[in-house]
Amino acid sequence: KFAPTGYRRAKKDLGAIAIAYGDVYVASIAIGANYAQSVKALVEAEAFPGPSLVLCYSPCIEHKILYPRGLSRLAEEMKKAVDSGYWTLYRYNPAHTPNGQNPFTLDSKHLSIDVHQFTKLENRFEILKRTHPEVADQLKSSLQQWTRDRLENYKWMEKRGAPSDEASGPALDILVGSDTGTTTELASRFAGLCRSRQFNVAVHELDEVTPESLRAMSNVVVLCSTAGEGDFPNNAHAFWEGINDPELEEGFLASTKLSVFGLGDTGYKHFNAAAKNIESRLLELGAVKSQDIGLGDDKDEDKYETAFESWLPDFWKIQNAPESPDEHEIPEPIVELEVVGKELAHQYERVHPPKTKTITLTKNERITALDYDRIIRHLIFDVRGVDFSYLLGDALTIYPDNDPALVEDFLDWYKVDQTQWYHVRGTKDLDPRRAASYRHPMTARQIFGEVVDITGRPNKFFYKQLAKFAVDEEERKALELIVADTPEGNAAYSALSSESVNYIDVLKKFPSAHPPLEHLMSLVPCIKPRLYSIASSQRFVNDKVELVIVVNDWKTPSGATKRGLCTNYIDRLATDGHEDLTHKVVVSVTPGTFNLPPTLMEPYVMTGLGTGLAPFRAFIQERAFFKNLGYETGPMWLFYGCRYRAKDYILGHELEKWAEEGVITHLKPAFSRDQKEKVYVQHKMLESKDDLYEDLINK
């Protein structure tokens, strides 16, 4: 079966055959070697409006992988196949050709190990070495040369299609770490700004970058958000693990210039920890620091934009970048719209961002009193039949829609046919979230209902770009004032921000600034998902996942009432009084940041307010599960703060029941408004200070 005397002719290259047609999407992937590249290829293949071929490498039991590895370490086997060049990772996307882009992308650019380090792990190759050693040595040498030649050919294919005007500029690699898409949006815009200044730009997710590929980059910018309390975003874990390989020698990145900008929130203790840690580690490996790290803060008036606008001029200066020739011109959109006739219209399909699933919302009921001014809802989702799992402390990420009535009103005002079908094509700066959203034709109503964040809050960049479309001179001056770095400009921007104006409000305030649809879709970001702590233990509830969510309402200085996008979406999905009413919701799971005790006997001390009860309820359910099985469990304290026992003691009946059963050993609710004197959780903790000390310190 495996040619026991050796096989001297290379296998047919199915990828090359398919690429030769010119209109077939082709990718070569190995999940164990590069998970992010595999996901990207599959998303692109599904989005491509023609035939797609994805070639996937996987070891086989017939390969006789040698003990002690066997088939128990498939990921390592796949990685060695790629690192040796035996299997190459690439993507060929004909959709890039009309935009003047190279359709071929080589994702594994280096050979980091000898091919023999891969073949020696499989008995099919070792048999030849034992039976025909001279032939084996000859073929080993030939295979090594063949892998090198093939890699050089792929490099030539990638270089051949590169636009000549870009190739002449300085190289710049932008590495992106993002969870909710905010940093990805920034990277897309930043890449466009750099290209306008003649940089030869490549954008990569952090997990796509190996230490070897990083070493080949001479000029690097890292844009990275921090998730939760100092954690890395989901697409940066493999990168962080890779650059912390103890075998990387000192000076490994001596030829790499480095700039870093982080997106964080000073409301957390470990502000911008991910970006800071990445910079620190890369400098340890010898990277040359180009400028001080930029630290975007979500608490700033213009969020991360405030720090980014201060960091960016230094970047241009240090890079000796020329002025952008189109600084005052209308920018090219990052999407193109092709009108689709009714005969080619696509059956409606809900937008699914990467790595999301659809689950069924079976219960969404208000659990605060009707006469109470805060609405808190208890949500229960049914995940039967869905490959869906979560751990204690994880968060459910919900992808909301805009209010259909609001979308209809806006599109009517904007003079857009809501029922018109479009095929949305992306340019080189299209981010993965948009690319996945636009993988099939959709109506204008769906585009602005499920993708474009028209109810989001504009930043200064949007006002600056919108001014270029204003045909009324007074409106143009007013928009330019908003972004001016003057006391008057800052006051104008602050006035709009304090009123929580959204993109629709601004467009209606300046009606002469009327960007064409593709420009508007490029300027306004995608709808951001929202994360909510899961309020259930999967062991306890089996095929369900539960949340408790407060509806986010507030009043602006002018007295206008505003409501958050996602909580408005959730409120619209209410099932109060309708037991048979269900809704489909697009979600994903984001890993939590809790470090849970290793045994059931470890004391838990939990302190929370309002919907901060959510993760603690999951912990309590987990303890209840094991206690019901007969396991002994340790002390469990819950200090829970709310205003009134009768109005917002959410799920209090459950807490009291678990206290009676001994799952919660110390239940200490604090009702701040039920008596004349204010009582808060800290008062309850002081009342129990001796017992708390015993459990926390002595146990």
> Over 80: is that where the pLDDT of 132 sits?
no
Parts of the chain belonging to CATH 1.20.990.10: 335-523
Tell me the pairing of strands 104-106 and 52-56: unpaired
- What's the chain's Rg over C-alpha atoms? 28
What's the pLDDT at 2? 52
What lies within 8 Å, CB to CB, of 235 at 6+ separation is: 36, 176, 177, 178, 179, 205, 206, 207
Q: What kind of architecture, by CATH, is found in domain 14-159?
A: 3-Layer(aba) Sandwich (3.40)
Parts of the chain belonging to CATH 3.40.50.970: 14-159
Q: Which amino acid is at 430?
A: L
Burial class (CB in 10 A: 0-12, 13-18, 19+), 370: exposed
- In DSSP terms, which residues pair with 425 in a beta bridge? 336
At 355-373, the pLDDT tens digits run 899 999 999 999 999 999 9
Interval 311-337 mean pLDDT: 85
DSSP letters spanning 345-393: PPPP-----TT-EEEEEEEEEE-S-TTSSS-EEEEEEE-TTS-----TT
What's the pLDDT at 234? 83
Distance CA 121, CA 124 (A): 9
CATH placement of domain 604-698: 3.40.50.80
Question: Which range (127-136, 200-209, 335-344) has the least confidence?
Answer: 127-136
Structure tokens at 449: 């209902």
Q: Backbone dihedral region of 3: left (phi > 0), alpha (psi from -120 to 50 degrees) or beta?
A: left
Percentage of residues of the chain with pLDDT beyond 70: 92
Structure tokens at 488: 């008057």
What lies within 8 Å, CB to CB, of 655 at 6+ separation is: 620, 638, 640, 664, 667, 669
> Over 50: is that where the pLDDT of 679 sits?
yes
CATH placement of domain 335-523: 1.20.990.10
Percentage of residues of the chain with pLDDT beyond 90: 62
Parts of the chain belonging to CATH 3.40.50.80: 604-698
What lies within 8 Å, CB to CB, of 256 at 6+ separation is: 214, 215, 217, 218, 219, 220, 282, 286, 287, 288
> Over 60: is that where the pLDDT of 242 sits?
yes
At 585-607, the pLDDT tens digits run 999 998 887 888 889 999 999 99
Structure tokens at 390: 């979560």
Structure tokens at 561: 């009432």
Largest CA distance in the chain: 94
Interval 565-574 mean pLDDT: 94
Helix, strand and coil in the chain, % to nearest 5: 40, 20, 40
Strand runs labelled E in 97-210? 104-106, 171-177, 200-205
Most confident of 27-41, 100-114, 117-131, 615-629: 615-629
Burial code of 143-166, b = ≥16 C-beta within 10 A, e = fewer? Answer: bbeebeebbeebeebbeeeeeeeb
Q: Report domain 171-319's class.
A: alpha beta
Instruction: Give the pLDDT band (50/70/90) at residue 166.
Output: very low
At 446-496, the pLDDT tens digits run 999 999 999 999 999 999 999 999 999 999 999 999 999 899 998 999 999
Structure tokens at 546: 């539960």
What's the pLDDT at 392? 95
> Over 70: is that where the pLDDT of 251 sits?
yes
Distance CA 285, CA 227 (A): 24
> Over 80: is that where the pLDDT of 619 sits?
yes
